[in-house]
Structure 1
């Protein structure tokens, strides 16, 4: 029989995925999978669980949780020689990655993609000196919202809980002195927000209009610090999404070095990472994941 390990976060989102375990297991067994089931019990537990699944060379690693759970599982895969195929059932509050990949939160529909009509693609992920990330790392304004928002508030209010937390940070815009080296040159100045993205959506907003998720590059979006106008700049960028906006610099790169001594922490896939300088190297097509076929030609243009 084929081998499947399920890793799920029991406190992710509405904390109800365990109600679907019998259904998910039965569907997998009907497709001739032997199933091992693990619930995460503490922060970073999914990393060690994923490493074990890779050692066992499972045919399918099924992950359920939010972006943070996917982040931990990625860091388990990044430290393993065997790369399993990933099936994803999003059960977090925002689930930006799932939104980009068109994977629904509805368990039955997600299982249909995993077992019936989904397509396996080779997606980029990114290694850094602070760990690996799958869809975003950021520093600056609002980037800590995903992990400072109260979990009880997220359970009852969902995405609205993030907005409430964001309102609290409206008046505390950081000024980050930064030097950025990339494939085609460098930037230097004071910035309020730096986003490194391999996705269409971040925090529910369309940050990159036409992402390519398998070309060995990431999109970098940098917001200059402009006193009194920073929030207006974010609003225009996030809501209206113009191609060109003064004060916002966008470029694509495979390698990136960001130098800063600002005390702010980095956010990686919604999880807190250490502050300081960041070195980035994209791993081209190094992650095998099942996605909705409708987005393959749109976002995966260099499949080998």
Structure 2
């Protein structure tokens, strides 16, 4: 049994460093002494918690919340962040999150202006500019930035890990080439704040981010307005990849065959066999119910991104 506590020795603030030791190219562990030194200088008592198995980060975060830890410094890819969010989403005490990305895509980090370069990421943490960010509760748990079904969405988890470590983001492109000629036709009905959208789609995305799979999908997202963006790509024979290319590379606000909506909740009905992609990880196929949970995640971001993507909270640094 863990005994709840709030402060460390001599009244110091407490920080758990939770990291995925096999994420990306395994660089974070080499920087641990630097990270620990920096956090000590910021007044934190440190405990280091490497993950040991799938969903271990969720278990560790739940323990940290129960123990009333002040800060969680997370390092890993988008999947590690997702596990952490699922650990704290329903907790009464939710620690401040600092993030050092070490995965392959790290879409949420790029949206929040947090670099993969560890010393530079530590500088962002030192600035201590925290925001309250929306997350979304779905049928398969909580997610931070994307819930999608359709073409190319499984690339992040079907691409071999050794390819990702060797080639980085290029490994995703190699896998994507294989799907160029296999466009799915997904019969779907979606209830949302604006009504009902139904038809045959090749790609459906619920997005709470600017970037997905390395592409800027939402030009100017608002990440604290209690709503999520929906992007629907109609199934158009022979033209689907052209729609993707124009949308992904140029991000036009309007494009024939592509519908963009915002909603606080959604109900998705589909019998397609394809699995959903939730924050870069595979989830079961089938129907979904989604509900935005406003401002549930308190996280340190780059000050410029706070001003750009967070419009419904006070500006300025926080001191925790």
Question: Is the TM value for this pair above 0.5?
Answer: yes
Q: Tell me, in whole angstroms, the C-alpha distance in 2 between the residues paired with 1:136 and 1:147.
A: 14
Matching residue of 2:226: 216
Aligned-partner SS, 1:216: coil
Q: Tell me, in whole angstroms, the C-alpha distance in 2 between the residues paired with 1:15 and 1:150.
A: 16
> For structure 1, which segment, 291-300 or 157-166, has the greater mean C-alpha deviation from structure 2 after superposition?
291-300
Gaps of 5+ in 1: none
Q: CA deviation at 1:252?
A: 0.4
Matching residue of 1:278: 288
Deviation per CA, 1:263-282: give whole Å up to 9, x if none. Answer: 11110100111111010000
Matching residue of 1:16: 27
Matching residue of 2:48: 37
Q: CA deviation at 1:15?
A: 1.2
Q: Tell me, in whole angstroms, the C-alpha distance in 1 between the residues paired with 2:313 and 2:193.
A: 22
Matching residue of 1:118: 128
Matching residue of 1:145: 155
Q: Tell me, in whole angstroms, the C-alpha distance in 1 between the residues paired with 2:144 and 2:250.
A: 25
Matching residue of 1:268: 278
Matching residue of 2:199: 189
Q: CA deviation at 1:296?
A: 1.3
Q: Tell me, in whole angstroms, the C-alpha distance in 2 between the residues paired with 1:172 and 1:11.
A: 31
Q: Tell me, in whole angstroms, the C-alpha distance in 1 between the residues paired with 2:200 and 2:69.
A: 47
Q: Tell me, in whole angstroms, the C-alpha distance in 2 between the residues paired with 1:252 and 1:109.
A: 34
Matching residue of 2:86: 75
Q: Tell me, in whole angstroms, the C-alpha distance in 1 between the residues paired with 2:13 and 2:307.
A: 29
Matching residue of 2:266: 256
Q: Tell me, in whole angstroms, the C-alpha distance in 2 between the residues paired with 1:117 and 1:40.
A: 27
When the two chains are superposed, the root-mean-square deviation of aligned CA atoms in Å is 0.8
Q: Tell me, in whole angstroms, the C-alpha distance in 2 between the residues paired with 1:146 and 1:261.
A: 23
Q: CA deviation at 1:214?
A: 0.2
Q: Tell me, in whole angstroms, the C-alpha distance in 2 between the residues paired with 1:135 and 1:240.
A: 20
Matching residue of 2:73: 62
Gaps of 5+ in 2: 1-11, 315-320
Q: Contact 1:6/1:62 (CA < 8 Å) preserved in 2?
A: yes
TM-score (norm 2): 0.93
Q: CA deviation at 1:118?
A: 3.4
Matching residue of 2:7: none
Q: Contact 1:51/1:79 (CA < 8 Å) preserved in 2?
A: no
Matching residue of 1:101: 112
Matching residue of 2:212: 202
Matching residue of 2:4: none
1:155 is the counterpart of 2:165: yes
Aligned-partner SS, 1:223: strand
Q: Tell me, in whole angstroms, the C-alpha distance in 2 between the residues paired with 1:290 and 1:246.
A: 37
Deviation per CA, 1:55-103: give whole Å up to 9, x if none. Answer: 1111110000010100010000123221110000000111000100000
Matching residue of 1:86: 97
Q: Contact 1:207/1:238 (CA < 8 Å) preserved in 2?
A: yes
